[in-house]
Amino acid sequence: MKISDQFLWGGATAANQYEGGYLADGKGLSIADVEMGGNIDHPREIHESVHPHTYYPSHEGTGFYDHYKEDIALFAEMGFRCFRMSINWTRIFPLGDEEKPNEAGLKFYDQVFDELLKYHIEPVVTISHYETPLHLVQKYGSWRNRKMIDFFMNYCQTIFKRYKDKVKYWMTFNEINETMNKKNPYHQAGILFQEGEDKASTVLQASHHMFVASAKAVILGHQINPNFKIGCMVQYPESYPATCQPIDQIAKREYMLFTHYYLDVMCRGFYTNTCLAKQEQLGGKLIIDEGDEEILRKGTVDFIGFSYYFSSIVSYQRDGSINAKGCNPYLELTDWRWHIDSLGLRVALNELYDRYQIPLFVVENGLGAVDQLNEDGTVDDQYRIDFLGKHIEALKQAIEIDHVDVIGYTTWGCIDLVSAGTGEMKKRYGFIYVDKDDQGNGSLKRYRKKSFYWYKKVIETNGQTKFE
């Protein structure tokens, strides 16, 4: 089995990290617009409103709003067959609960999609990628509240109808499984836990509301255009038992429960035994309204989109807790302390396909590193080439040897953008260097890195990674 000639090679971004133009043409505030920058040792600070004289990285991102034609031309030069991006919810519905959309916001994405299609680049659109309207968080409690389903569906109906002839590939929620995995699932669900809040119940209920919203979006999308391919998107935390003790194999299973919890519902259409076990483990209360189960059953996704960056080793501790932060002695670490495990991508692809038997789409994979811009405008990022080359080889093995159905591969941060986790610029992922620093200084000028020319050849050769 060989990689298809229609395989979707490309790159991935998110509006809140890349787009900028945070109040342009009637856009409202999203949760990202009140989040300061941080670093690996200092979490990002979140405010209730925009403070004067305070730097918020999302406000400018790396300037796609004003540079989209230039950037798309560069993507086309690399030969992209697809480009993953998100629509910023607050550009379409500034508050989130309006009945009528913001026409200027809709026109902007018309222009972006038209520009992509001019170069025969397929848009791959994430509907909600850490851009929940701030108003919906503050007035309704975000996804704690079932009303969010209706707001989300109004948004989906608007963009599905508007772009039904321009966008084929959609994903509902970015890394939805991190809702259960984060201390505060602010990015994923717009939630900062309140003092005394039953966290388990909140997570279960918010996740359920997102499940129903996703399923209803799938149903609606297929009604509007039967050719739509609508997927889910999860962060896939590949893991291995830390030792050959059988108990560590159980530890791995339990560690993966928070991922399979989400995939089981969105791919199979019901709460499986895995899900019920996780609910019982959390101990929270979940309310399922009449009709929800039928919606989940009818609204299963067409494909699984997932991010893959690293793997972990997992073991039980004496107190019964699970440790996934140990160091794997067989793997090197990135500057941000992530294990580099290219073969883990092949393992992940096989695990996912064996379990769900629907097409897979690797929509995030990349290396965050400190890049040096040379005086002649070049960047020698051979380390990124080495990283991506090994991962693409593992991807090819999964397809060609294991017969896994993979429809595409988009590297994360194909152009430099703000890190979601730390809010930094120095953690760069792109094939294109953008002149901007962690304080927001810089010209936003674009420079092609060494990896730019390498990835161009990868696409030209449909997956070859080694060149003279």
Q: What is the overall mean pLDDT for the chain?
A: 97
pLDDT for residue 321: 85
Write down the pLDDT at residue 467: 87
Of the listed 60, 175, 178, 238, which one is catalytic? 175
What's the whole-number mean pLDDT along residues 201-215? Answer: 98
pLDDT at 374 exceeding the cut of 80:
yes
Long-range pairs for 218-223 at CB < 8 Å and ≥24 separation?
218/172, 218/299, 218/300, 218/301, 218/302, 219/295, 219/298, 219/299, 220/153, 220/156, 220/157, 220/160, 221/156, 221/160, 221/170
DSSP label at residue 267 = I
Residue 278 has pLDDT above 80, yes or no: yes
Q: What is the mean pLDDT of residues 282-303?
A: 97
Please answer whether residues 80 and 123 qualify as being in contact, where contact means their C-beta atoms are separated by less than 8 angstroms.
Answer: no
Residue 1 reports pLDDT greater than 90? no
How wide is the angle at C-alpha 221 spanned by C-alphas 218 and 222, nearest 5°?
85
Sign of the dihedral through C-alpha 46, 429, 172, 279: negative
| Residue 175 annotated to the active site | yes
DSSP at 142 = G
> Do residues 105 and 91 make contact, with C-beta atoms less than 8 angstroms apart?
yes
Among 54, 4, 61, 14, which Cα is nearest to 34's? 54
Q: Give the pLDDT confidence of 15-27 residue by residue, as tens digits.
A: 999 999 999 999 9
Give the model's confidence band at 325: pLDDT under 50 very low, under 70 low, under 90 confident, else very high: confident
Residues of the chain above pLDDT 90, percent: 96
Q: What are phi and psi of 262, to 5 degrees?
A: -75, -45
- Cα distances from 215 to residues 8, 227, 248, 422, in angstroms, run 25, 16, 35, 31
Active-site residue 375, yes or no?
no
CATH architecture for residues 8-460: Alpha-Beta Barrel (3.20)
Is residue 357 predicted with pLDDT exceeding 90? Answer: yes
Read off the pTM: 0.98
Which among 35, 122, 178, 364 is annotated as catalytic?
364
Query: What ranges do the domains of the chain cover?
Result: 8-460
DSSP string, 26-87: G---BGGGGB---BTTBPPPB-SSPPTT---GGGTTT-HHHHHHHHHHHHHHHT-SEEEEE-
* pLDDT single digits (tens) 143-192: 999 999 999 999 999 999 999 999 999 999 999 999 999 999 999 999 99
